[in-house]
Amino acid sequence: MSVSLNPQITFKADNIQEINKSTGNSTSATPEQKNTVQEQNNQDKFIKSPEKKEPETKKTLKQRLASALKFFIATEEITKGTAKGAIYGTLTGGLIMGAGWFFGALPRGMKKGNSLIEVFKHPFKAISSKTKITAGITAAGIAAYHIVKGNLQANLQKTFIDQKLKNKNN
C-alpha cells in the first residue's frame, strides 16, 4: 500500500470554496458537511493504487562469477584478519604478561625471600591484576584491529571487482 502527499488538502479558509466547487453546493456548507465532504475526498485520494515493480533483470554469467568471487575474497580476507588478530593478540598479551612477571612479580618475590619459589611455581598467580587486565585489553584490541582491517581490505577488493565488471559492461 502506498501513501502519497495530497497537495489539495489545506488547512486554510479558502478550502471551503474548493469543497463547495467539488460538491456543487453554491450555499455555504455547515462545518459538519465540510468535514464529511473533506473525508470523502480524502478517502478517494488514498484508494490503493497498483504497486510498481521494477523489472527483474537476470544476472549474467559474469555477474554470477563476480558474486562468487567476491564471496570467496571476503571470506579469505576476514579469515586472514581473524587469524592474524588471534596470533598477534596472543603474542602481545603473552609478552605483556611475561614482562609483568619478569619486572614485577620476580623482584617482589626476591624481596620477600620465601615467596620466590611461589613465583616460579605459580607465575600466573604472581602477576598483578593490573598487568593481566592490560594484557587482555591489548590482545583484544589487536585482534579487533586485524579483523576490521581484513574486512576493509575485502571491501576494497570487492569494489575493485565491481569496477572491473562495470568497465567491461560499458
pLDDT in tens, 43-83: 555 555 556 666 677 778 888 888 899 999 999 999 999 99
Spell out the residues 6+ positions from residue 9 whose beta carbon is closer than 8 angstroms to its own: 15, 38, 41, 42, 45
**Is pLDDT above 60 for 99?**
yes
* pTM: predicted TM-score of the whole model, two decimal places: 0.59
